[in-house]
Structure 1
């Protein structure tokens, strides 16, 4: 058996003998809903949004007073100052301290409030970026869905082409056996079948790749079957009229609905608030502070009157009186013991408090604050440039999409006429070929033209639908089939 015959036989077996397996179908809405819940890029944007929310919350909490407590203890060796008596001692002892401090900014030229306002605007901007990510994902899923439908239609056209070539080949074989046509006609058709089979395999592979792309957007397991729910009549999908999607009309609508434009405006406002916060740091700030604490030292002792020894009388000297020596005695003395003051007593006795005001006046700090202000000014300007660039790109994209949509309409109309003409030509050619009035090469050429016209029409139809849906997306920020 020749290679062409073998290829054709395998394809025919694949097309007609494979059992049909019922599969759960995926509508476009189901695809979009599943993607919004599982797409990795959307999840990443959600993380960015939550990070912005945390930054806002932290800046809001910074308005509260700073309150800190501390406790410490340790052994001291050698000569050092006793923290309780402030006397220098040369002995080892245990000491500990407890303290609680608080400070509150009273006025800092609204630096904190401007920072909070900047973070709030940034959080809102991230909310619109989240909306943009969801809208873009919905559009990409719809585009991938259309691609799958396109390649499915191309597979159908290629299957029909293979069937037609197979039928022609079977008829030609009979004519060759009858001696009506030369054997070269059969060889030409076998070569044409091999080419048609290759085209079918390519179309089937394109369909597989488009399904894989859809699964990546859905974050769906690549081993899970995916069967799109094909609309009953793709040609009857609701599409806007061209006068409803004029470029300037679409651009005006997009300025009010496009999330990226809203994000740019919010980020400009946020940068201006950050600039005001940076300027506030150039001026004096006033803060209030308060604290309390206590301490304990093992070396801090007191007299213990419960442990008195004595009396002890010391001899100061002797005197001679009447020829005799008499001792001169001093006053009686007593030795009073000592003890470490109890822990609770020391904490009570050493308890201290303080309150104060602090005026901070920035004079020279390596030009850091001035640099921060200049950076903030440049950041405002850069975000304004980003807004202008995004506006320019949006307008260019809309005008480009509109021009492409007009071209797609014209191409679809021309391809529809082309299919009608090619079909008539092929029908006449088939009759002439069956009567032996047309050679095989010319017949295959006419058949190929019909096949190409059908493929072009299918591609033009889906391209037209996509271009119109793109304009609709720019206008309404949603897409539906």
Structure 2
């Protein structure tokens, strides 16, 4: 295939890639993305389920303070010799027999074991509330990060498009010079090869935009087949960024200790474990309980002797229930003596769990501090890199402008000119990447400090 044919193919692909759909699409701002994620993100929904489960556990433990009330009824057909429920004398008969009772039982005193369990469950519920807040904050930050990535990839597409246009322009001028015999045909071939390279870079850059949008759709739990049109700011430099001098890592860490939801969740889990330990200790002591019940019996062939008529008669249902109605009220004292050391083991395990949660808290705080210091160091490096890349773009632009003049006068060969052009292209890409990287690093520090994200 001739180079001219290759050039024509890439021109076709380039024009096709720039076709804009005519279907009207609504745009997605960062705030809209965050609001949508708060309602639809799967991670947030999972944490909402955990919070709801902890609320139900707390509710159940509170109901555990009330007495237990149970009602039972039994009935059946009996044939043979059995005690008459009315006379307690053994009789031989076939009869339908039924009985029913209502039982009430509850603890009067159990060394506050149930109250401590309620407090432990309450702390667990509060901890899950903070974990839900953490999940929402994390998702909001991840959405903002994905949004920045989309903006970055779109900026890289713009830079790449400019590079393609410059190469196309140079190629057209070179073709004219080749026809005029001013430059050799190899110059045209070199530029055609460069156009192929630049067009490939443009395809890659546009594919990176698609991948970044897919990442955003996953965070939003949005259908991958649906369109996503980000609302791109006119000027990325207008995004508000806190001065680095006001983001000292120790200051950010001190603020994070009061705002970071995981810190609060760890503290509440320790309190919950302490109450669970006290509840376990209450199981080592005697428990005083109250028990009460009422009940009665009925038999289909229960007879009694009538002293007036000197005859037996069948006792009616109501009379049987009344005659055999019984009541019971009593106190029970349960004294734990030995059950395989299970209760004391539970107390010991509850105590160890407190220590384990304290270690978890210390580890989380250590990681938080390490992440903040790392983010600050990365922000410093990103700022220096952005300044250096800005200087690099200015130098590369000057070199390219001089090279263009020399190339047009035939004083520079194509390879050297393309090299100079590629250096400018790479410097522009590096500057855009460094700028977005610096913004991301600063937004990360702001997130640690305030648990909020804004663009």
Secondary structure of the 1:92 match is strand
Q: Which residue of 2 aligns with 1:311?
A: none
Q: Is the 8 A contact 1:83 1:95 kept in 2?
A: no
1:12 Cα deviation from its structure 2 partner: 2.9
Partner of 1:329: none
The structure with more radius of gyration: 1
Displacement after TM superposition at 1:179 (Å): 1.6
Q: Any conservation in 1 of the 2:14–2:199 contact (CA below 8 Å)?
A: no
Q: Does 1:188 align with 2:190?
A: yes
Which residue pairs with 1:164 in the alignment? Answer: 166
Q: Which residue of 2 aligns with 1:65?
A: 67
- Whether 1:349 aligns to 2:310 is no
Query: Which residues of structure 2 form unaligned runs of 5+?
Result: none
Q: 1:427 aligns with which of 401, 411, 417?
A: 401
Distance 2:118 2:21 in 1: 65
Q: Does the 8 Å contact 1:295/1:347 carry over to 2?
A: yes
Match of residue 252 from structure 2: 250
In the TM superposition, what whole-angstrom CA distance separates every residue of 1:49-75 from its partner, at most 9, and x where no partner exists? 011001001101111111111112111
CA distance 1:85–1:136, shift in 2 (3 Å): farther
> 1:6-43: CA deviations, max 9, x gaps?
44222332255545554211111111011101111111
Partner of 1:11: 13
The answer to whether residue 347 in structure 2 is matched with residue 373 in structure 1 is yes
Match of 2:54 in 1: 52
CA shift, 1:87, in A, is 3.5
**Structure 1: 5+ residue runs without aligned partners?**
309-335
Kindly indicate whether the alpha-carbon contact (under 8 Å) linking 2:85 and 2:302 is maintained by their aligned counterparts in 1: no
| Aligned residues of 2:217 and 2:224 also touching (Cα < 8 A) | yes
1:385–1:190 CA distance, 2 compared to 1 (3 A): same
Q: What is the CA–CA distance in structure 2 between the aligned matches of 1:78 and 1:190, rounded to whole Å?
A: 110
Give the 3-state SS of the residue equivalent to 1:222 in structure 2: coil
- The counterpart of 2:356, out of the listed 379, 382, 395, is 382
User: What is the alpha-carbon distance in structure 2 between the residues aligned to residue 349 and residue 400 of structure 1?
Assistant: 83
Q: How far apart, CA to CA, are the structure 2 residues paired with 1:32 and 1:70?
A: 55
Q: Secondary structure at the match of 1:77?
A: strand
CA distance in 2, matches of 1:86, 1:137: 74
The structural deviation recorded for 1:83 is 4.6
Distance 2:289 2:27 in 1: 66
Deviations along 1:126-156, one digit per CA (max 9) or x if unpaired, are: 0000100110011000000000000000011
Q: 2:157 aligns with which of 155, 158, 162?
A: 155
User: Given the superposition, is the C-alpha separation of residues 189 and 217 from structure 1 closer, same or farther in structure 2, using an over 3 Å criterion?
Assistant: same
2:288 matched residue in structure 1: 286
Go from structure 1 to structure 2 and tell me whether the alpha carbon gap of 1:175 and 1:75 turns closer, same or farther (over 3 Å shift): same
Contact kept in structure 2, 1:7 and 1:197, CA below 8 Å = no
Q: What is the CA–CA distance in structure 1 between the aligned matches of 2:84 and 2:9, rounded to whole Å?
A: 100
Equivalent of 1:474 in 445, 448, 453? 448
Q: 1:218 matched to which residue of 2? A: 220
Distance 1:161 1:371, change over 3 A: same
Task: Find out whether 1:413 has 2:387 as its counterpart.
Answer: yes
* Cα displacement (A) at 1:185: 1.2
Match of 1:106 in 2: 108
Task: Determine if the alignment matches structure 1 residue 208 to structure 2 residue 182.
Answer: no
Distance 1:242 1:83, change over 3 A: farther
Q: Retained in 2: the 8 A contact 1:4–1:193?
A: no
Point out the more displaced range, 192-201 or 260-269: 192-201
Superposed CA deviations along residues 349-369 of structure 1, whole A, max 9, x for unmatched, are 111101000000000112111
2:273 alignment partner in structure 1 = 271
Q: Find the partner of 2:439 among 459, 462, 465.
A: 465
- Count of aligned pairs between the two proteins: 453
Quick check: 1:141 aligned with 2:115? no
Q: Corresponding residue for 2:428?
A: 454
- Tell me the TM-score normalized by structure 2: 0.96
1:76 corresponds to which residue? 78
Aligned to 1:41: 43
